[in-house]
Structure 1
Amino acid sequence: MIRPVTAADLPAFHTVMLAAGMDPRSSWNRTTLEGLEQSLFAPGSGGFVAVCGGEVCGCVGFRPDREDTLTLNRLATLPDMRGQDIGAALVRAVETVAAERGFRRVLLAVSQFNLEVVPYYERLGYVQANEIYAFASPGSPVPVVLVKRIVGIGSTDLDNRLAEITQKLAELKKLDVNHLIFGSEIHRYELHPPISKEQLGKTAQSFGIDFPEDYAQFLTTVGNGGAGPDYGIFSLDESLELCNTLAIGREFPHRKAWQPLVENLSDGTPRGQGKIPYYINNPVTELDRKKQRAWNEFYYDGNNSSGSMCIGEQGCGHMTLLVVCGPERGNIWVDSRATNYGITPLKKDKSGTTFLQWYEDWLDQAVEQLRGKND
């Protein structure tokens, strides 16, 4: 039986913890009854005990960490009661609390002295995250942080898709240990810690924009950049550094592929899509150079990508844009001006490709590719 912990359970809770057989170097073994009481019964905190034959045989605690995260801690079962899924039941109890309270994820930290339990948590759906544990014991080695997205009560389709992305990314990391997928040797399937909703809101307000919902929730619940298509996704700050911040709040100017016609500077012959004249990049006469300067000022003007932000690099100068203003808001475009192919939409269907569709397609294709290699 799993039930909420009470003050009367503290001695038994403490006994189960100390009986878990943790490495003597771990701060776990320095837990006192007083410290345990303060941790379990602080505002918003709590815990559960598992009762077997009338005696406490397992325990777990939790406490809030930021607005979207519930931290799981102090999970333990008596050695002779292991193998009966008591630990998993206690973890599910904490996850239920997270869902009921509207937390989007559960986070836990594993001591460097107890790394053999990491696979256990991964089987329960937790994935390693490149985050700093807010409650780490001073003087102890930096713990390994694992997180799991929680689909809450009344959750939306977007919540479900983001939770599935987290699981697929963990699978992809396991499948691609040799980094066969293009760009993975750069991001190594690691995500940066999520950004707070407050910080994201302040950024949006300062630039007068409204970030697309799927992108915003990705940043605040999955990761603020890191693993993703091609060489990965830029953090919000990196994206803003690369865009024309003076024009980001203006409407994105394109509705279809943009590659203006230019005349051949030597013979006046018009050229079309993707066929910038040779003399643009290799001027011969002074007239060529004059027209080249005029062309570059026009072609690479930041206003040609206004209302968008660069969220990733594809290689060879191709950049991934996310439109944040105008009718194309929420869709992915590709800026290939560096290779003279203009700015073009990444089309999945007539309505374009959204941020989440782009990310999901990358995951699905990469997993399918690696499963084929491993069969």
Structure 2
Amino acid sequence: MTDWTGVRDRVLALAAVPGSDKVFGARAHGFALDATLTAAEVADLQAWLDVDLPEDYRSFLLHVGAGGAGPAYGILPVRREGSAGWHWVGELIEEVEPGMFAEVFPGGADPVATVGILGERPLEEEFDDPADLDAALEAWEERLGEVQYDPRRTAGALCLCDEGCGLMVWLVVTGSERGRMWRDPRCNGTDLHPMRDTDGLPLDFASWYLGWLTTTEAACGLDR
């Protein structure tokens, strides 16, 4: 079990440290945290998702907060919007149906679809009119985006963090990668990949979040 004792207070205390606003993303979240969720709310969230959340993220919701201060621009807060169900506030990804969270996370690229669409890129020598080339490239880029951002690519994962410029971070909740963090740089033309620590080991939610907290405290002169 992850021990979150004192973590909420440590995070909130950073707001009062001179210069802490210079930490990347701090001006967005201000080292503020949403209120924690109750056990009943977490149970309702899991029922809505139709998955059991990884223990470290589940206990974070119960003992630290439902979102707010964290790596980059912070943890996207999860909230219930009446009959509309739960959602992560600020999520940039296309909305998906709740049942998709219970599907197995595929991980990485779909090589057949990706290679196929990349091989269809219009070539300059195939067009006499630059306007026709531009139109073809625009249509191709739209199809590429549909392949890259197919919601099935991130089935079984929660979008938890905005790193800026379209870069996102996901927590896998279903499948062999359950409990691990994945970075999403598809906006740069590369693909989703697992996040790892300095020893090359996969990062889980607790390691990712507590690593950020320790590094941030050190940057603010609060070495523990």
Alignment check: 8 A CA contact 1:192 1:224 kept: yes
Amino acid at match of 2:176: P
Alignment check: 8 A CA contact 2:104 2:155 kept: yes
- Residue 294 of structure 1: how far off its partner (Å): 2.6
- Larger mean CA deviation between 219-228 and 201-210 belongs to 201-210
Amino acid at match of 1:210: D
TM-score, normalised relative to structure 1: 0.48
Alignment check: 8 A CA contact 1:258 1:342 kept: no
- Residue 176 of structure 1: how far off its partner (Å): 4.3
Q: 1:337 to 1:364 in 2, by over 3 A?
A: same
Gaps of 5+ in 2: 80-86, 126-130
- Residue 170 of structure 1: how far off its partner (Å): 4.1
Amino acid at match of 1:297: E
1:359 is matched with: 209
1:109 is matched with: none
Cα deviation per residue 1:227-276 (whole Å; 9 max; x = unaligned)?
Answer: 1111111112342865523422111101x5778442343169xxxxxxxx
Cα distance in 1, alignment partners of residues 189 and 196 from structure 2: 19
* Aligned pair partner of 2:45 in 171, 188, 203: 203
1:191 is matched with: 33
Q: 1:190 to 1:289 in 2, by over 3 A?
A: closer
* 1:139-150 correspondence to structure 2 within 5 Å: none
Cα distance in 2, alignment partners of residues 174 and 368 from structure 1: 15
- Residue 288 of structure 1: how far off its partner (Å): 3.3
Alignment check: 8 A CA contact 1:283 1:289 kept: no
- Residue 327 of structure 1: how far off its partner (Å): 0.8
* Structure with max Cα Rg: 1
Residue 294 in structure 1 maps to residue 143 in structure 2: yes
Cα distance in 2, alignment partners of residues 258 and 229 from structure 1: 28
Cα distance in 2, alignment partners of residues 231 and 294 from structure 1: 30
Cα distance in 1, alignment partners of residues 208 and 124 from structure 2: 42
Residue 327 in structure 1 maps to residue 176 in structure 2: yes
SS at match of 1:248: helix
Structure with more strand by fraction: 1
Cα distance in 1, alignment partners of residues 8 and 183 from structure 2: 25
Amino acid at match of 1:314: E
Residue 266 in structure 1 maps to residue 123 in structure 2: yes
CA RMSD, aligned part only? 2.8
Residue 308 in structure 1 maps to residue 157 in structure 2: yes
Amino acid at match of 1:354: D
- Residue 175 of structure 1: how far off its partner (Å): 2.6
2:22 is matched with: 180
Gaps of 5+ in 1: 1-155, 269-281
Q: 1:283 to 1:196 in 2, by over 3 A?
A: farther
Residue 247 in structure 1 maps to residue 96 in structure 2: no
How many pairs does the alignment contain? 201
TM-score, normalised relative to structure 2: 0.78
Cα distance in 2, alignment partners of residues 328 and 350 from structure 1: 15
- Residue 178 of structure 1: how far off its partner (Å): 5.0
Alignment check: 8 A CA contact 2:67 2:74 kept: yes
